Structure 1
């Protein structure tokens, strides 16, 4: 009996060694993407599981802090809890926290159902008709699609005032996880799907995150992953310049993440697009929030908790940012190397479907693995028994595009009236965005209203009372001739007990407002 036990233990140790060694080892200080990379099926699955697990854990960890610390870091004395049963508690109490994940799963499910060549419209229709609540660029895109404005127009800034927001950045994980070692393949997926809801810097956030996930399969060097992935972004973009600054500041202040955070705030914290974030501390722009992801990755130094905690403590969208950072690091480490302290809570929910889906984490792991295998073969890789040979890709920049070019916020106009009492709104500038909402006891009601600018009909809009399919902003118009303009509205189908409430208007011009003080 003892002999059999000894032999069994020895065999188990040999198999374990074989499994862990059956992967090409990346150099400690990597400088280039290899031509090809060999990985075992077990290790590939372990890394895919690590990516999804890290994302879910990071989102849960940062959950209670989301947008509670805007324009300020979360100080060290602020404790962030991690009690037993925590992820299950979020699943049961506030499943909407996991919009980071179930948004991804919408796209994963379409790939699973229709294959790798599924058209953009299929993803757009699935996303627009899903039962979950959306915000910002996602909600603006949903409205556009349901009104017949399909991608890429649905994400373009002229149709979507939130085009630079974080939305695609938080849901691009799937693109990198299904494209191991192939960042350009991930970018191609993001081109098709990311333009459903974003444009310009908002789109670049998802491209960059996808590229970091992709490279995390073939490198154990965080600095290399962060730097090499940035090659997918055009250098002339604001997004590239901010990430490049963060990488440079990390080298300049290698032991002080707070100094890099502060430098980032000084130079890159302005938000000119999102109507909710202009002139206030809230910043849901992809640029600054991506910076917080890589601050966590660089200063976390490969430590799962430290990476997640720093990204959280940078503030703003402080559940989504640690979700991305922990997901990228989880891919690099693999599920089996995420400390049990964090995975213990996760294992309680791995067979539970995410809200609004029929997909659990365990299903997700397998679906993502199957899609990665297809992508590897499609892009020149080979499957040789248990070994998978990835034909790695040298990152190349995607196309350059810029949202809100020449748009400078100059002020707000308080309205706070029902459409019937708004009358005429006058402003001096080039663009205007009207915030507001429809309030009705009938959630199926859709207000129809016209906007006139300088006496000319500019738009007739459908304004649903339902929050799920609402229009984020009531009206907007960019790129008017510079000067004074008068705006008025006409409600075409008023009903009793219903109102179309205008909040405030955000005004832009073609240059920053200059005020001379004596």
Structure 2
């Protein structure tokens, strides 16, 4: 079945190039899928499914459709970018920070190599990334850099977002360039993350990078998740919540029941916080049961930071199955083209970004 990864699929069974391209395409497709409903305090899981039901789009198997005529705009208003990221309206990817940071990570490794310093991460941000295209912890760190602060103060000075999801969404390239080596991936991601994050914000980046690296050689999502947990402190809240999500799935709870349990477990955390979104990605991968489409659609239907969680789930699932197995409704509208705010990369070919990523693999 297209888009399905199977137990026993070793790295040699699919080329490294296909797996890396699958990660890029999966990240961009998952991001585009979640972008119209990215506002977790409004677009709850229940509201997303109510919208999809009215649109005749459950089960969700393609990008989110636009309802015509539109329903109550106060309740169902899509994000302003919806004309660029809804079904039938996609002609190349829309610009988004979840993709900008993957591109910036590629540029980081091409410019400084795997021995980059945290200070060099900051230098590249100032050179390549417009300030107004940064958000939450990244904007706070950028401001601190411009004011002359150096890491680790860039992450802690006047930054209430230190454990939010920003560092996690920057981690993919460290996993893509460390196939089968989650320890290396986590180490690279940590050096990047501490520019802007602390605690679970850093652990989320290490976990995501390790998860993606493990996906190159793991027999499936659960094995990759188990491997990734070995590279973050076992007692941190992120690790405890991910393990709890895996236990709920193993106990036989259905997806809806697991989502309800996770709501209780993470109650009080902001919808952009790393911990609930890592749990959501974990659930999407497990309940997606090896199917690319089910993985990203369940993740996005779970709410929270829909485009970021969808992007990370898509990256992992894309590595697991490879680009050639991703169903065409996700990849063809992207037209092998990405929009980006990173200077020098707008309009780049996705396939070229993947080719350059492969060249960075040791």
Task: Give the TM-score, by structure 2 length.
Answer: 0.83
- d(CA) in 1 for partners of 2:113, 2:344: 18
Aligned residues: 321
- d(CA) in 2 for partners of 1:116, 1:267: 37
Specify the alignment match of 2:90 in structure 1: 86
Task: Find the residue that maps to 1:112 and give its secondary structure.
Answer: helix
Structure ID, larger Rg: 1
Specify the alignment match of 2:160 in structure 1: 161
Is the 1:47–1:331 contact (alpha carbons within 8 Å) kept by the matching residues of 2?
yes
Indicate the structure with greater helix content.
2
- d(CA) in 1 for partners of 2:218, 2:321: 10
Task: Find the residue that maps to 1:321 and give its secondary structure.
Answer: helix
| 1:140-159 equivalence runs, <5 A | 140-156=140-156, 159=158
1:108 to 1:85, Cα distance in 2 relative to 1, 3 A: same
Deviation at 1:47, TM superposition (A): 0.3
Greater relative contact order (CA < 8 Å, ≥ 6 in sequence): 2
Residues 465-496 of structure 1 deviation map (CA, whole Å, 9 limit, x = unaligned): xxxxxxxxxxxxxxxxxxxxxxxxxxxxxxxx
Task: Find the residue that maps to 1:167 and give its secondary structure.
Answer: coil
1:318 to 1:192, Cα distance in 2 relative to 1, 3 A: same
1:270 to 1:228, Cα distance in 2 relative to 1, 3 A: same
Aligned residues: CA RMSD: 2.2
Deviation at 1:70, TM superposition (A): 4.7
| 1:62-461 equivalence runs, <5 A | 62-70=34-42, 72-74=44-46, 75-79=48-52, 80-81=64-65, 82-88=86-92, 91=94, 95=95, 98-129=96-127, 130-131=129-130, 133-156=133-156, 159-254=158-253, 256-271=254-269, 277=270, 283-346=271-334, 348=335, 350-352=336-338, 354-359=340-345, 360=348, 361-372=350-361, 374=362
Specify the alignment match of 1:419 in structure 2: none
Residues 129-158 of structure 1 deviation map (CA, whole Å, 9 limit, x = unaligned): 4225211111111111111222232123x6
- d(CA) in 1 for partners of 2:258, 2:88: 33
Deviation at 1:38, TM superposition (A): 6.0
Please list every run of at least 4 consecutive aligned residues from structure 1 whose deviation after the TM superposition is greater than 4 angstroms: 68-71
- d(CA) in 2 for partners of 1:301, 1:295: 10
Residues 423-466 of structure 1 deviation map (CA, whole Å, 9 limit, x = unaligned): xxxxxxxxxxxxxxxxxxxxxxxxxxxxxxxxxxxxxxxxxxxx
Residues 180-233 of structure 1 deviation map (CA, whole Å, 9 limit, x = unaligned): 000110111112111011110011111111111001100231111112211111
Residues 283-329 of structure 1 deviation map (CA, whole Å, 9 limit, x = unaligned): 21100111111111110111111111111111111111011001100
Task: Give the TM-score, by structure 1 length.
Answer: 0.59
1:301 to 1:27, Cα distance in 2 relative to 1, 3 A: closer
